[in-house]
A and B are shown apart, each in its own frame.
Chain A
Amino acid sequence: MYLDRELDQILLDDLQEHISLCENCMAFLKTMEKTIALSRAYYHKKCGRVPKSVSEHMFYHLRIIYKKRKI
């Protein structure tokens, strides 16, 4: 919740103060942020456009379904 800034402002301020003084919490938080950033980068690299053949195959099947529904 802290990472997502979803906490009440007073609690957020208290936590920020604690984290600035606590080496373990600071390290934990940094590694959590890095985990999310690395995961985003990993997925960004993995994703891309839909291959043309995949898209065409899907539209082909959809059109068969349209025809079946008309019958």
Chain B
Amino acid sequence: MEQIHTKALALLKENELVERAKKHDHAAFEELVKRNQAKIYNLGLKLLGNKEDAADLLQETFINAYYALPKFEGKSAFSTWLYRIATNNAFMKMRKKKIPLVRFESEKNDSEQPTGSFNIPDWSNDPRAHLKNEELRMLIERSIDALPGKYRTIFVLHDIEGFSTEEISKMLNLSVPAVKSRVHRSRVFLRDRLSQYFRTGFKQGVNL
């Protein structure tokens, strides 16, 4: 295969890079890595919660991708395929750390019905402003950590990364209704945890 300059590789489309990488053009594979490493590292941070595990996930995902590249058929975007590898690796890490994957700590907050009326405080339009409140930031972190691994993954993929339920169903080998149900249950779980903040704000004290 004709070797081309690294700068020229940066101009190639993703599918062109994949074809070159499949023919053992390492520079092309590395260009794919460069384009996607931030997405995978940040996915690791979101799913596993710390920099060390995110760094491990990043490395494992691209090593797995390198070996599995001949099997990549191009039916989805390369980045979507990488997400699939990364989420499988994340599940393995969660299992090793004994993080529950599908079972909620408590079912009492899982009602799918509205659980009463809330006096919603006067919220700023910018949610980032609220995160200056350290207690709220910690409450969100603990709430997300309390989500079972597979629910957290589906919530992140759908509501944070913006994948459709169809894309997630293919990525995780789940039915579309199962994905929708898990998105909903995750949202209700988090919302019920945060409802203490919605009701009272922190000035009145929140029992975590």
Give the interface of B toward A (CB within 8 A): 26, 29-30, 33, 37-38, 41-42, 45-46, 51, 55, 58-59, 62-63, 66, 114-118, 120, 123, 127-128, 130-131, 136-137, 140-141, 144, 155-156, 159-160, 165, 180, 187-188, 190-191, 194-195, 198
Contacts and interface: CB of A to CB of B under 8 A. Distances in A.
A35 B120 CA distance: 12
B131 A58 contact: no
Contact of B59 (A46, A49, A58, A66): A58
A38 B118 contact: no
Contacts of A57: 55, 59
B66 A28 contact: no
Interface residues of A, number: 39
User: Which secondary structure characterizes the binding site on chain A?
Assistant: helix
Contact of A35 (B63, B131, B194): B194
Given A43-B156, A50-B58, A66-B26, A27 B38 contact: no
8 contacts: A24-B117, A25-B114, A27-B120, A31-B118, A31-B194, A35-B194, A36-B159, A38-B127
B180 A39 contact: no
Interface in A51-68: 51, 54-55, 57-59, 61-63, 65-66
Given A40-B159, A43-B160, A27 B191 contact: no
